[in-house]
Amino acid sequence: MDKVMIDLETDLKVMRECCRSGKTKELSWRRSQLKGLQTFLKENEVEIFRALRDDLGKHYVEAFRDEVGLIKKSLNLALKDLQKWMSSREAKLPIFALLSHAELVPEPLGLVLVISPWNFPLALSLEPLLGAIAAGNAVVLKPSELAPACSSLLFNTLPNYLDNETIKVIEGGPAVGEQLLFKKWDKIFFTGSARVGRIVMSAAAKHLTPVTLELGGKCPAVLDSLSWSWDKEVAVNRIIGAKYGSCAGQACVSVDYLLVEKAFSSAVVELMKVLIKKMYGDNPRESQSVGRIVNKRHFLRLKNLLTDKMVKDSIVYGGSMDEDSLFIEPTILVDPPRESTIMTEEIFGPLLPIITLDKIEDSIDFINARPKPLAIYAFTKNETFRRRMVSQTSSGAVVFNDAIIQYAADTIPFGGIGESGIGNYHGKFSFDTFSHYKAVARRSFLTDFWFRFPPWNNYKLELFETAYNYDYFGMLLIILGLKRSRRRFDRRVVKSVEWKRLENLRLTKADDSQLQIGINNGSSSSKYSNDYCLLGIVWKGKKIYREAMIKMLGNLWITKGELTAKEIGENKYFFSFSDKEDFDRIKAGRPCCFDRNLVVLKEFDMDSMEPKEVNFKHEELWIHVIGLPIKLMERETAKVIGNTTDWFITVDGDGGDLKGKYTRIRVLIDLTKPLKRGIMIHMDDGHIKWISFHYERLAKFCFRCGIHEQSCNQPCLDENGTEVQKQYGAFLIASQRRKAVEIKFEGHGQSQWKNSDVHS
């Protein structure tokens, strides 16, 4: 044994060296090894059949169906698709990564260990082996010592067909297995029991070796009460085939137990008896078609399962055993106790317990109460039940109306979950299991975003944000200096006492957000200013989307200093300005409209006021007084006229400036009252003149009653309770503003665009 291990040590060193040299990575090497496997199968078919008969009493048809044939199929597929599998996969990249290129390159893991079981000693050795070869690994295969004929066939014959430097077969029992597990591997692929699976994984942990564990589990078959006799017969045939036909039930994917409805059970049992007879004849022992139990230990284990009296009593068919020839007859049990060993351990033999349920839907709970199986087989035509079975149970695979067949399908992964294993293989999945997908990104030296590098500032932050959001246009705008930073990080904001106060102001938590407008050009105020604050409310409008509102105002107000906007309630906002100039300008620029909704802005002193106290009923507006005789166009008249509204504030212009098409006066109006359309004035000469008012930037108002409101839904009533007809109209909106004012207002912003030094 020691000598074997010393040899192994040197062998492994050579194998690693070969790996490193890149020999196994070559397509030609992989191809030649796969072809070698093909030749091995072709030239040794008879020996293989014989070995399988010796070890397990497998009929050669079964041996071909489950082992040789399947491997041949897998080899064909691997040889056909190998080049496709090996080619790297392009990964999509956003435009952000301009002139970059990324791909996923599959690369071999290195040196892998495959440990295979005795029940399908050939298939379960060669299937992972061919996956490992296809992926370009050096492999050590340890077949099970419990199938000695196959093991020695693999040990003695297989090396003749393969590259012995990189692929080795090692024979031996648990001691050898243990020795092997001490070594460092790049992957361990184990097929066998959960108990040994745990040992393998613990050993793998020492070297951080990834593992694939193909374990078993109690795979249930669920047989719905099928009405058509053809369906019934096919279903039962398939269950019998999957139970007794696959190495006498000694397969990880074979049916372990059967769930049927109580009312249906006797019919099923009768049908089974008939069909078993048809397949295996009156004397199954004589038929070559049923495999034998692998060894005495397993024979005794199965025998023990039946010793419990309650279990024994539940046998309705078969049950005979022959210890000498290790033969167990196909056996059916109906409702053995659910806590008996036969229902808690994986059976792995030709015993089929049938559990009867009241309703077939109960099977889902029954399955979920047990560890996750490798497969669930459900025979049903009920679409809802199928959907439930897929979504509400968990297993390696779900197969409808058939069993075991999923093992042969190479387009779906074969593997377990939970107690039934980790990882999967078959077809391309085998290749993936033995490959590492290496992410490769390539860049050129040409493009480099300077904002990737420190020293950090908020401008760079903004660029990162747009880049991450793939907002290319926004990025462009920022780079060109056309968009301003909306955000900044300032620890002072978090820490300041004012912030704490603000937190208390929040009216609705859900809508709480904070966006800051304006850039920090280094000269901003050192403290979170509370000197210049405004409270704004969208007057009687619908709820306005917060982001839109803040963004829009930000664009409109273009401030020199910082502007912080914060939603403090529905349609209610808090604005704070770091710069007094901005604050004054915005205040003077009232009314503020958003999407033709009036945004009423009020000054707010954080130290002394509560947001609730603020009265939003009034707002300042500019009014054009039209139709005034020229000689009356002077300050005093304006004041008198202004005071007929709620409150006169000022008049635009002075002296001669006042004489124009109209007089522009600023007044405070009550928003809850109808708009004044104008007034009558008594002229000195006795006649009466109608002076009309036009409102600048008038928001939506009701054309019937003239009140600032989105729209009056109810009919508008006057003081006497009679319905008002349309009394107002768009004529109240001032057609144009005086040019001089416009320049003064917008011009401020314009200069800002130019002055903004965003390239900090």
Positions marked active-site? 214, 252
* Shortest distance in whole angstroms from residue 252 CB to other proteins: 14
Are 187 and 113 spatial neighbours (Cβ–Cβ below 8 Å)?
Answer: yes
Helix (H) or strand (E) holding 549: helix 546-557
- Residue 185: count other Cβ atoms within 10 Å of its Cβ: 23
* Shortest distance in whole angstroms from residue 219 CB to other proteins: 13
Residue 675, amino acid: L
For residue 67, state whether it binds other proteins (rule: CB under 8 A).
no
Sign of dihedral through CA atoms 417, 422, 428, 432? positive
Determine the Cα–Cα distance for residues 51 and 45; give it in Å rounded to an integer: 10
Residue 8, amino acid: L
Query: Among 4, 5, 194, 649, which residue interacts with other proteins (rule: CB under 8 A)?
Result: 194
For residue 245, state whether it binds other proteins (rule: CB under 8 A).
yes
Nearer to other proteins, 349 or 413 (CB): 413
Query: Among 274, 390, 640, 717, which residue interacts with other proteins (rule: CB under 8 A)?
Result: 390
* Shortest distance in whole angstroms from residue 361 CB to other proteins: 15
Are 723 and 689 spatial neighbours (Cβ–Cβ below 8 Å)?
Answer: no
Are 425 and 413 spatial neighbours (Cβ–Cβ below 8 Å)?
Answer: yes
Residue 575, amino acid: F
Residue 145's DSSP bridge partners are none
Query: Among 149, 357, 461, 552, which residue interacts with other proteins (rule: CB under 8 A)?
Result: 461
Applying the rule CB under 8 A, the residues between 712 and 731 that interact with other proteins are none
Query: Among 210, 319, 611, 749, which residue interacts with other proteins (rule: CB under 8 A)?
Result: 210
Are 131 and 159 spatial neighbours (Cβ–Cβ below 8 Å)?
Answer: no
For residue 402, state whether it binds other proteins (rule: CB under 8 A).
yes
Query: Among 412, 476, 482, 683, which residue interacts with other proteins (rule: CB under 8 A)?
Result: 412
* Shortest distance in whole angstroms from residue 241 CB to other proteins: 5
Are 106 and 431 spatial neighbours (Cβ–Cβ below 8 Å)?
Answer: yes
Determine the Cα–Cα distance for residues 132 and 190; give it in Å rounded to an integer: 13
* Shortest distance in whole angstroms from residue 116 CB to other proteins: 19
Nearer to other proteins, 269 or 375 (CB): 375
Residue 86, amino acid: M
Are 227 and 329 spatial neighbours (Cβ–Cβ below 8 Å)?
Answer: no
* Shortest distance in whole angstroms from residue 400 CB to other proteins: 5
Applying the rule CB under 8 A, the residues between 345 and 384 that interact with other proteins are 368
Q: State how beta strands 563-569 and 315-317 pair.
A: unpaired
For residue 296, state whether it binds other proteins (rule: CB under 8 A).
no
Looking up tokens 């050898």, which residue turns up? 176
Please choose, out of 94-102, 317-325, 651-659, 742-750, the segment that lies near other proteins by the rule CB under 8 A. Answer: 94-102
Query: Among 4, 201, 357, 609, which residue interacts with other proteins (rule: CB under 8 A)?
Result: 201
Whether residue 350 is preceded by a cis peptide bond, meaning omega within 30 degrees of 0, is: no
Query: Among 72, 639, 659, 676, which residue interacts with other proteins (rule: CB under 8 A)?
Result: 72
Are 430 and 128 spatial neighbours (Cβ–Cβ below 8 Å)?
Answer: yes
Nearer to other proteins, 238 or 560 (CB): 238
Applying the rule CB under 8 A, the residues between 152 and 191 that interact with other proteins are 186
Q: For other proteins, what does the binding mask look like between residues 211 and 240, x meaning CB under 8 A?
A: --x-x------------x-xx--xx-xx-x
Please choose, out of 152-160, 208-216, 474-482, 530-538, the segment that lies near other proteins by the rule CB under 8 A. Answer: 208-216
Determine the Cα–Cα distance for residues 43 and 357; give it in Å rounded to an integer: 51
Are 133 and 160 spatial neighbours (Cβ–Cβ below 8 Å)?
Answer: no
Nearer to other proteins, 272 or 417 (CB): 417
Residue 567 tokens read as 């939603």
Query: Among 202, 266, 508, 643, which residue interacts with other proteins (rule: CB under 8 A)?
Result: 202
* Shortest distance in whole angstroms from residue 209 CB to other proteins: 8
- Count of residues near other proteins by CB under 8 A: 115
- Cα angle for residues 742, 744, 746 (degrees, 5° grid): 65
Nearer to other proteins, 312 or 381 (CB): 381
Residue 170 tokens read as 């090692």
Query: Among 42, 73, 661, 726, which residue interacts with other proteins (rule: CB under 8 A)?
Result: 73
Applying the rule CB under 8 A, the residues between 11 and 50 that interact with other proteins are 20, 22, 25
For residue 279, state whether it binds other proteins (rule: CB under 8 A).
yes
Query: Among 423, 554, 642, 706, which residue interacts with other proteins (rule: CB under 8 A)?
Result: 423
Nearer to other proteins, 405 or 626 (CB): 405
Are 332 and 269 spatial neighbours (Cβ–Cβ below 8 Å)?
Answer: yes
* Shortest distance in whole angstroms from residue 147 CB to other proteins: 20
Are 180 and 140 spatial neighbours (Cβ–Cβ below 8 Å)?
Answer: yes
User: Beta strands of 550-697 (E only): which ranges?
Assistant: 563-569, 572-577, 592-594, 597-604, 618-626, 647-651, 662-670, 678-682, 688-695
Query: Among 254, 424, 597, 663, which residue interacts with other proteins (rule: CB under 8 A)?
Result: 424
Sequence-separated (6 or more) residues with CB below 8 Å from residue 296: 323, 326
For residue 399, state whether it binds other proteins (rule: CB under 8 A).
yes
Determine the Cα–Cα distance for residues 126 and 128; give it in Å rounded to an integer: 6
Please choose, out of 55-63, 526-534, 598-606, 711-719, the segment that lies near other proteins by the rule CB under 8 A. Answer: 55-63
Q: For other proteins, what does the binding mask look like between residues 98 and 127, x meaning CB under 8 A?
A: --x-x-xx-x-xx-----------------
* Shortest distance in whole angstroms from residue 471 CB to other proteins: 12
* Shortest distance in whole angstroms from residue 448 CB to other proteins: 5
Nearer to other proteins, 22 or 729 (CB): 22
Query: Among 406, 516, 564, 645, which residue interacts with other proteins (rule: CB under 8 A)?
Result: 406
SS3 221: strand
For residue 523, state whether it binds other proteins (rule: CB under 8 A).
no
Helices 45-56 and 148-157, interaxial angle, to 10°?
150
Q: For other proteins, what does the binding mask look like between residues 441 and 460, x meaning CB under 8 A?
A: xxxxx--x---xxxxxxx-x
Query: Among 48, 70, 222, 658, which residue interacts with other proteins (rule: CB under 8 A)?
Result: 70
Nearer to other proteins, 184 or 744 (CB): 184
Nearer to other proteins, 414 or 557 (CB): 414
For residue 97, state whether it binds other proteins (rule: CB under 8 A).
yes
Applying the rule CB under 8 A, the residues between 501 and 520 that interact with other proteins are 512-513
Tell which residue, 536, 680, 514, has the closest CA to residue 600: 536
For residue 591, state whether it binds other proteins (rule: CB under 8 A).
no
- Could you tell me how far CA 640 lies from the centroid of its own chain? 69
User: Beta strands of 152-263 (E only): which ranges?
Assistant: 167-169, 187-191, 211-214, 220-223, 257-261
- Could you tell me how far CA 145 lies from the centroid of its own chain? 44
Nearer to other proteins, 193 or 692 (CB): 193
